[in-house]
């Protein structure tokens, strides 16, 4: 849902959120806990990944927004029908207006693109797509693809 009413003169903002069942981390754990083994790769993983990619395409190509913190905790999901929403834009960057080098520290460690791990100040939408790949792998495996307890890991 979108904001219903924004009144800039009186500095009021009304925001309405669509209730969602859980985040993707909880969804993955729930599936593995049931003893099912993993998500149904022919349906669930394809549907979820497609929706994430469409969301990222809209953010990146249409709006020029670099999310910079895509991870299962920042993807909300409804089980029936299977529907996702990307959330937490606290570290996003609007590349349609901002130019120049970016901050070197971005995103949750386990989902960082190689250029961000190496602390590059020059990265782009590809770092978001790398995170999508890590999320997709986590849906298959049931655990993060690149877990670590420190920067070095």
Is the pLDDT at 2 greater than 50, yes or no?
no
What pLDDT score does 1 carry? 43
How far from the centroid of its chain's Cα atoms is residue 22's Cα? 14
8 A C-beta contact, residue 66 and residue 127: yes
69 part of the active site: yes
- Determine the average pLDDT of the residues in 120-147: 80
- SS3 assignment for 95-129: CCCCCCCCCCCCCCHHHCCHHHHCCCCCCCCHHHH
Selecting among 69, 73, 94, 128, the annotated active-site residue is 69
All domains in the chain, ordered by first residue: 21-141 (1.10.510.10)
Instruction: Please tell me the least confidently modeled range out of 93-97, 98-102, 144-148.
Output: 98-102
55-65 pLDDT, tens digit each = 999 988 888 88
Q: What is the pLDDT of residue 33?
A: 78
Say what the pLDDT of residue 6 is: 55
Its sign, for the CA torsion 124, 130, 136, 142, is: negative
The reply to whether the predicted model has a pTM over 0.85 is: no
């Amino acid at each position: 849902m979108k904001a219903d009413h924004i009144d800039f003169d009186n500095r009021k903002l009304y925001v309405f959120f669509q209730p969602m069942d859980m985040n993707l981390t909880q969804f993955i754990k729930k599936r593995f806990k049931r003893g099912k083994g993993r998500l149904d790769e022919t349906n669930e993983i394809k549907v979820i990944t497609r929706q994430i990619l469409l969301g990222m395409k809209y953010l990146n190509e249409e709006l020029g927004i670099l999310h910079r913190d895509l991870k299962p905790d920042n993807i909300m999901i409804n089980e029936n029908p299977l529907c996702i929403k990307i959330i937490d834009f606290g570290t996003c960057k609007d590349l349609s207006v901002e130019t120049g080098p970016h901050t070197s520290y971005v995103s949750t460690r386990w989902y960082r693109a190689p250029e961000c791990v190496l602390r590059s100040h020059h990265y782009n939408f590809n770092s978001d797509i790398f995170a999508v790949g890590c999320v997709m792998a986590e849906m298959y495996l049931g655990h993060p693809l690149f877990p670590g307890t420190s920067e070095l890991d």
